[in-house]
A and B are shown apart, each in its own frame.
Chain A
Amino acid sequence: MKSYAILFAGLTLLSGLAHADKLDDIKKAGVLRVATFDGNPPFGFVDQKTNKIIGLDVDYANEVAKKLGVKVELVPTNPANRIPLLTSGKVDLVFANFTINPERAQVIDFSIPYFASGQQFLAKKGVLKNAVQIPELRIGTDKGTTMETTLREKYPAAKVVLYDDTPFALAALRNGNVQAITQDGSKLIALLANIPDKEKYEIPAFAISEEYEGVGVPKGETRLVNALNDTLREFEKNGIALKIYDKWFGPNSKSPLPRLFKIGDTRLSQN
Chain B
Amino acid sequence: MNQIQSIMGQMLAPKYLAWLIDGLWMTLLLSAIVAVLATLLGIVIAAARSSRRRCWSLPASGFLSIFRNTPLLVQLFFWYFGVSGLLPESSVEWLNTVHGVALGPYLKLTWPSFELLCAIFGLSLYSAAYISEEIRSGMRGVAPAQRLAAAALGLNRWQGLRYVILPQAIRVALPPLLGQYMNIIKNTSLTMAIGLAELSYTSRQVEAQTFKTFQAFGVATLFYIAAIALIETTGQLIRRKQRLAAGAQR
Contacts and interface: CB of A to CB of B under 8 A. Distances in A.
A176 B84 contact: yes
A144 B114 CA distance: 22
A103 B115 CA distance: 30
Given A80-B204, A161-B195, A162-B205, A172 B211 contact: no
B81 A172 contact: yes
Contact of B205 (A140, A143, A176, A177): A143
Nearest to B83: A175
B224 interface: no
Interface string A63-103: 00000000000000000100110010000000000000001
Contact of A177 (B80, B193, B211): B80
Residue among A83, A143, A172, A175 with max Cβ neighbours from chain B (10 Å): A175
28 contacts: A80-B204, A84-B207, A84-B213, A87-B213, A103-B209, A104-B211, A107-B211, A143-B204, A143-B205, A143-B208, A144-B208, A145-B208, A148-B205, A149-B209, A161-B115, A164-B193, A168-B81, A168-B195, A172-B195, A175-B81, A175-B92, A176-B84, A176-B89, A176-B93, A176-B96, A177-B92, A177-B114, A177-B115
Given A140-B195, A161-B195, A177 B204 contact: no
A86 to B, nearest CB: 10
A106 B211 contact: yes
Contacts of A163: 195
B211 A171 contact: no
Interface residues of A, number: 27
A149 B205 CA distance: 10
Interface string B106-134: 00000001110000000000000000000
Nearest to A87: B213
Q: Tell me whether chain A's interface is mostly helix, strand or loop, or mixed.
A: helix
A106 B209 CA distance: 12
A174 interface: yes
Nearest to A124: B89
Contacts of A104: 211
Contacts of B80: 172, 177
Contacts of A140: 195
A143 B207 CA distance: 10
A176 B84 CA distance: 8
Given A138-B96, A140-B195, A162 B85 contact: no
Contacts of A174: 85
B181 interface: no
A93 B106 CA distance: 54
A138 to B, nearest CB: 7
B193 A171 contact: no
Interface string B188-201: 00001101010001
A106 B193 CA distance: 28
B88 to A, nearest CB: 10
A176 B92 contact: yes
